[in-house]
Amino acid sequence: MWTPARVAEWQATGQRPAVAVWTAPHLAAFLDAVTTDRLFAMWWLIALRGLRRGEACGLRWSDIDLDHGVLFIFRSRTTVGYHVIEGEPKTAASTRAVALDKHTVAVLREHQRRQRQQQAAREAAGRACYDSGYVFIRPDGRPLHPQYATRHFSRLVKRADIPPIRLHDLRHGAASLAHEAGADLKTVQDLLGHASIVTTADTYTSVLPYAQRKCAEATARLVLAAARRTREKIRKRGQSNRPNPRPKNKRAANKKR
């Protein structure tokens, strides 16, 4: 994960870890910087829902149910050299349903609205426009080339002036952020479509120290809060067990006698 120390080292030397994952503030800064990019919805899906590049490029509108908040991964567009091959997802577990939160649904609806608007403008201008049915397309409507997505993402990251990551690291970040948000490994495994939970666990190599520190701090807060409550109970119990003070005027009353 891009900790402050690693960011400082990168800024000083230009060197970066082999696998780097953004923190939530880094991701927020990136998404804020690319809001108007025509592939904004792709970056959002990969970053928050953990799609692979090929799964995002192979996604069709018929695979998405926006009313019920779910999309289905049935295919993947991968490359051999620069040649695109479309086929089944990476593993049997990769064929899956992915739940969509209301924010993601809103992002996809806006993407669909813009796409239709741009296609209508292109047709009105008499320019070629293909109704391919894919969610992420070229300006002429044909499906997006996976390598273009990678190159374009790299340009956007550099322009945003934040610590660099690969497009695939954006997917790893989805796993890390879900884990930090409270999802267990089994839930994250299902989200990412991993065949084995061991593969899922391996994605946490860089984030575990941070997650463990958060766990340690939460545990300490729990214990300290319990200790404060215990001390308060003892204090109140001690006050209730004290003998009632003698009346101040009792000695004066005895002297009068």
Q: What pLDDT, on the 0 to 100 scale, is given for residue 251?
A: 52
Amino acid 165: pLDDT: 92
Which position has the higher pLDDT, 199 or 50? 50
Q: What is the pLDDT of residues 91-103, one digit of tens each?
A: 788 889 999 999 9
pTM (2 decimals)?
Answer: 0.77
The band of 85, judged by pLDDT with boundaries at 50, 70 and 90, is very high
Pick the closest to residue 37 from 148, 126, 185, 130 (CA basis): 148
Question: Which residue spans within the chain are E strands per DSSP?
Answer: 64-65, 70-73, 76-80, 83-87, 96-99
**Is the model's pLDDT at 253 over the cut of 50?**
no
Task: Please state the rounded mean pLDDT for residues 120-133.
Answer: 90
pLDDT reported for residue 177: 82
pLDDT(84) > 50 = yes
Q: How much is the average pLDDT of 150-174?
A: 92
**Predicted local confidence at residue 220, as pLDDT:** 58
User: 17-63, pLDDT tens digit by residue?
Assistant: 777 888 889 999 999 999 999 999 999 999 999 999 999 999 999 99
Q: Taking residues 240-254, what's their average pLDDT?
A: 57
79-113: b or e for each residue (b if 16 or more CB lie within 10 Å)?
eeeeebeeeebbeeebbbebebeeebbebbeebee
Residue ranges of domains in the chain, CATH in brackets: 4-170 (1.10.443.10)
